[in-house]
């Protein structure tokens, strides 16, 4: 997904070249992975000649927000406050991240 999010629409070959620089995978494996991501609704494709060009259905931020919402609903009884308190208690957030979160909250309150 990161290859498609960062590079925009790309072919199986392009994704394979980027991924192969980090992990030893065959192009057929990458093709299968992209098909599965499309079947799950994360990617879509258009045909250009014989090649499929894959693009993300939604941004990484949007997908992450949806995944976090599912975690909140499943494990925190729908409470964002419970999730954040748990993250703070577990010392998952640095002081800088907490400060940035406070700035973001203040901005949205002002709207």
Does 42 lie in the same domain as 70?
A: no
Given a cut of 90, is residue 110 above it in pLDDT? no
Does 69 lie in the same domain as 35?
A: no
Residue 83 near residue 72 (C-beta atoms within 8 A): yes
Tell which wins on pLDDT, 88 or 46: 46
pTM of the model: 0.74
> What's the average model confidence in pLDDT over 85-110?
91
For the record, the structure tokens of 101 come out as: 């979160």
Does 37 lie in the same domain as 68?
A: no
pLDDT in tens, 20-46: 999 999 999 999 999 999 999 999 999
Position 51 scores a pLDDT of: 94
The tokens 């995978």 sit on which residue? 25
Q: How far apart are CA 73 and CA 102, in angstroms?
A: 23
> What's the average model confidence in pLDDT over 101-106?
92
Classify 8 as helix, strand or coil.
coil
Does 91 lie in the same domain as 69?
A: yes
Range of the domain at 92: 60-110
């Amino acid at each position: 997904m990161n290859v498609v999010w960062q590079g925009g629409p790309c072919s199986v070959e392009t994704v394979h070249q980027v991924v192969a620089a980090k992990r030893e995978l065959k192009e057929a494996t990458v093709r299968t992975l992209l098909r599965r991501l499309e079947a799950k609704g994360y990617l879509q494709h258009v045909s250009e000649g014989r090649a499929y060009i894959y693009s993300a259905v939604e941004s990484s931020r949007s997908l992450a927000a949806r995944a976090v919402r599912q975690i909140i609903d499943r494990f925190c009884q729908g409470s964002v406050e419970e999730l954040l308190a748990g993250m703070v208690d577990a010392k998952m957030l640095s002081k800088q991240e907490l400060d940035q979160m406070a700035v973001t909250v203040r901005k949205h309150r002002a709207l």
